[in-house]
C-alpha cells in the first residue's frame, strides 16, 4: 500500500490559550496564527494536514489510536501531558506510525519537572525551544519520515 502523505498535528491542553497569556514563554502568536503557518508549509511540501487541539487526554489517545487509518505520521505537542502521560506514550507506540514531539519552549531550560518527557521514548525525535518554528521544523521532520 502506498504510504499516506497526510500528517496529523496534535496539540494538548491549554495550547488554545497561546498568544493570550505568558507571551514571554510561549510567544505572541495564537494557535490559529501558528496553524496558518503550518498549513502554508504543508502546501509547499505537498502534504495534506489535519490540525487538532484538545484539553482532554482521552481525545488525544483516541485520535492517536485512529491515526494509522488516515495518516502517515503525527506531529504532537503534548503540552503538560508530556510530563505525565504514559497513556499518550503507549498510544503512540501502539499506532506504529512515526511521531515527532514538538515544544514551543526549551523544556530543558525550565523547571525540573519539565525536563522529563514520557513521550520522547516513543517519538522518532523531539524539537524544542524554537517557538512557533518548532511546529514547522517538526512538520519537515515528519514529512521526511513518510
Ligand atoms: O513548550 C511547550 O510547547 C510546552 O509543551 C507547553 C506546555 C507545557 O506544559 C510544556 O511543559 C511545554 C504548556 C502549554 C500551555 O500553553 C499556554 C499558553 C499560554 C498561556 C498559558 C499556557
Q: How many residues does the chain have?
A: 146
CATH number of the domain encompassing residue 101: 3.40.50.9100
Residue 82 Cβ < 6 Å to ligand 1: yes
3: confidence class by pLDDT, cuts 50, 70, 90? low
Establish if 46 belongs to a structural domain. yes
Gap between the Cα atoms of 9 and 114, Å rounded: 21
**Residue whose CA lies nearest to ligand 1 atom number 12:** 79
Instruction: Please tell me the pTM assigned to this model.
Output: 0.96
State mean pLDDT over 27-35. Answer: 96
Gap between the Cα atoms of 9 and 77, Å rounded: 8
Let me know if 134 is exposed, middle or buried by CB neighbors in 10 A (0-12, 13-18, 19+): buried
pLDDT at 130: 97
pLDDT at 1: 55
Establish if 54 belongs to a structural domain. yes
Ligand 1 atom having least distance to the Cα of 114: 11
Ligand 1 atom having least distance to the Cα of 77: 5
22: confidence class by pLDDT, cuts 50, 70, 90? confident
Establish if 33 belongs to a structural domain. yes
pLDDT at 4: 79
Establish if 1 belongs to a structural domain. no
31 to each of 10, 56, 115, 131, how far by Cα in Å? 12, 17, 24, 12
- Model confidence over 70-107: pLDDT tens digits? 999 999 999 999 999 999 999 999 999 999 999 999 99
Establish if 88 belongs to a structural domain. yes
Residue 119 Cβ < 6 Å to ligand 1: no
Gap between the Cα atoms of 107 and 44, Å rounded: 29
Domain count, the chain: 1
Residue 30 Cβ < 6 Å to ligand 1: no
Establish if 41 belongs to a structural domain. yes
Parallel/antiparallel/unpaired status of strands 99-103 and 73-77? parallel
Establish if 50 belongs to a structural domain. yes
Domain range for 66 is 6-145
Establish if 48 belongs to a structural domain. yes
For ligand 1, the distance from its centroid to the CA atom of residue 3, given in whole angstroms, is 32
Amino acid at each position: 500500500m502506498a504510504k499516506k502523505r497526510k500528517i496529523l498535528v496534535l496539540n494538548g491542553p491549554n495550547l488554545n490559550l497561546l498568544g493570550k497569556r505568558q507571551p514571554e514563554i510561549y510567544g505572541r502568536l495564537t494557535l490559529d496564527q501558528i496553524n496558518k503557518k503550518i498549513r502554508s508549509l504543508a502546501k509547499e511540501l505537498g502534504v495534506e494536514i489535519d490540525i487538532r487541539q484538545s484539553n482532554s487526554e482521552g481525545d488525544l489517545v483516541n485520535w492517536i489510536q485512529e491515526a494509522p487509518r488516515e495518516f502517515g505520521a503525527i506531529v504532537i505537542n503534548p503540552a503538560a501531558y508530556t510530563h505525565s502521560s504514559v497513556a499518550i506514550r503507549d498510544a503512540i507506540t501502539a499506532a506504529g506510525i512515526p511521531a515527532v514531539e514538538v515544544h514551543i519552549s526549551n523544556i530543558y531550560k525550565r523547571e525540573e519537572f519539565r525536563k522529563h518527557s514520557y513521550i520522547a521514548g516513543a517519538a522518532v525525535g523531539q524539537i524544542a525551544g524554537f517557538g512557533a518554528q518548532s511546529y514547522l521544523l517538526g512538520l519537515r521532520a515528519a514529512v521526511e519520515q513518510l
